[in-house]
Structure 1
Amino acid sequence: MTEQRYLKPGRIEVRLLHNTVGWLTRHGISIAGSRELAVRGRKSGEWRHNPVNPVTVGSNRFLVAPRGQTQWVRNLRAAGEGELRVGNRIERFTAEEVPDNEKPPLLRAYLGRWQWEVGAFFKGVNRDSSDEELLRIASDHPVFRITEQA
């Protein structure tokens, strides 16, 4: 089995960036379209919260994990559903993981929208990279198609 990529954020990043963005989002202020992901922990069953940057491609919405196989990725795989939150607005969704061969246009769209924030996690690949380059890094970045629940 190959090692799965995960770039763990540092303490300062968590305290300054994640906690600040999370606090703002919980209070109804979305930074450039960011959301707070709420998903049940796969072991504890407790709600876990992380800031995320959804991207829309065509008529579908996606969550991309720029840091790789994070805890929220593992929890979302196990739960198959979650919530995107901004203030009191809660959007419940189901999630389906996208296979690597379908990721290049999704990663390109994600980088086109969010590269200013997450580009450092993509090994020099950007929105102008070829499909082959995007496919090369696809397994390092889980992607989920999210569908709003009625």
Structure 2
Amino acid sequence: MAYLKPPWFTRRIFNRVAMRFGMGQTLTVTRRQSGRVQQIPVVVPEVDGVRYLVSTRGESDWVKNVRARPRVTVGTTAYVAVEIPVEQRAPVLAAYRPLAGKVADSYWRRLPDDADHPVFALTPAP
């Protein structure tokens, strides 16, 4: 699977500013190797009452971490994330794209296949 690595500015500056000022929501996931916490800003679309995580950049570190440790937190709510099959992603991606804005459009131009954008359904954690 493809991956578009974010530039240094996005990783070190923009993501921190976005989380601090409430641009989107904060995804908290446990890193698969170190066990430390990873936090990134995310846009969480809702389709038919289900919330989803979408990776615009492909198989990113947070995607690999969620696959390894599916218990995540979005904002202050704990969830279990389950990756959905490629053939079920279209409605979620269609709902996501307008929420993500024009910046995400460039990712779809570079990764045009729905298979390149992992999607996880979020179920409230017990």
Q: Do Structure 1 and Structure 2 share a fold, with TM-score over 0.5?
A: yes
| DSSP-derived class of the 1:39 partner | strand
Aligned to 1:52: 42
Aligned to 1:112: 98
What CA deviation, in whole Å up to 9, does each residue of 1:27-81 have, x standing for no partner? xxx22xx111111110111111111110001110101000000000000000011
Assess if the C-alpha contact under 8 Å between 2:56 and 2:117 holds in 1.
yes
What CA deviation, in whole Å up to 9, does each residue of 1:109-128 have, x standing for no partner? 11122233411100179xxx
Aligned to 2:18: 21
Segments ≥4 residues shifted beyond 6 Å = none
Structure with the greater relative contact order (CA < 8 A, sep ≥ 6): 1 or 2? 2
Assess if the C-alpha contact under 8 Å between 2:2 and 2:58 holds in 1.
yes
Aligned to 1:100: 86
Structure 2: gaps of 5 or more residues? none
Matched, 1:8 2:5: yes
Structure 1: gaps of 5 or more residues? 25-29, 126-135
Aligned to 1:142: 118
| DSSP-derived class of the 1:123 partner | helix
For these two proteins, the number of residue pairs brought into alignment is: 126
Question: Aligned letter for 2:99?
Answer: R
Q: Kindly name which structure, 1 or 2, has the bigger radius of gyration based on alpha carbons.
A: 1
